[in-house]
Structure 1
């Protein structure tokens, strides 16, 4: 017996056992899953259920009170000033400061597991497509490269980027359209704070175009999301579930991801 596993209306995988692992889910989100048996000849009745994922969890090297609520401080630091984690106290203040609520789940061996409330932390897997580290040398030529994504047909997807484009000239470095489109900054260009929503045609192929030589290595990113809303680039931080804070010289605990930081 085979089992077809759906996330919403999309068939994600077919398994032969009664267990399936779903990857790329986000914390504190509700998903609808369906399972449909197939005997090799025909499909049976699909049974659906809703599941809400838990929040992202971190390890803090301190004994905290289980069940209590703590506050984590989120900040962003300019790149190139000082190494991350080496900011002199009081000299370089972070920007985009946010206070995040977290609940203490458990404690053991001098460490505590805390779970962040709400959808305020981004983890890997949210995007259908994410590209970083663009350089002219990474590709065969320093021009516009095209990436074809096989998505759902006749469905809206929103593309956003943190790239500012070519300042003062009105040109974008990222473009989106159905396969065969012509990049045009004024029509299908994507820059920071100006996402583009595109409806796929009957083929379901969405094409991303990138002017690679103008994108900064390790900094610029592109994301494609289902629907008409682009997830804000901030205050979301790309931390990993299970990350561990480190104790700083002043006694506080900190966790760093690129130029983003969480403090307790």
Structure 2
């Protein structure tokens, strides 16, 4: 017996456990979530629940009144965040301006935590599964072409990991390689060694030459690690004068032993990251930045 999870009428997937996590929900947004029993042939009626996610929270280094509502100013391409002369046409000095209402949740030691009462984002990737710890992953194929060892580091860069068990999975197109299989290689830059040399346990799968599929690596570490990098790797002897082409996408590193469907990291979907502290500017206002996006509070 399994359970089918729905977002409205959208089937998110099947799970075998009586509890699961739903990833990729927008903040300050209402959802109707549903669940049915499913035995592979027949499905029960759907039980539903209406929920609303909490909003993004920001920390403003000033004392405000708890439970009061304040107005924040949001804009894109704020002057100073992009070089003068490179702003999109019509957006010089800041475009897409709008006011955002926020509620003061708490005040502690001269710092106020406020919660946005509406989402900044306009779309989301809703899926069942854990949080993706890798940034800058996508549904688009990336390509490596060369000879010998394919050791291209993923665009996600380095990450820090606390003790625990993790699962990495990525989709691989290895049809352009007629020599060897492809797997994922995890290298710990801070310790100048591969993760399988220091992990408490480490298992991995391959995608054979000339085929497509997923590579999966499950590992357990008993101490914190810094500067861990993930690379797609093909074991082709450098003496073989052949060109290797591999493609990969949907990279996901999550806690636990189950590889769930790809979803982007929260940092890649949120305009402003949760619990960001706003900084005081010279004019006495406060601001938080994320790339070309900015949100201000002016008393």
Instruction: Give the structure-1-normalised TM-score.
Output: 0.48
Larger Rg: 2
- Give 1 or 2: higher strand fraction: 2
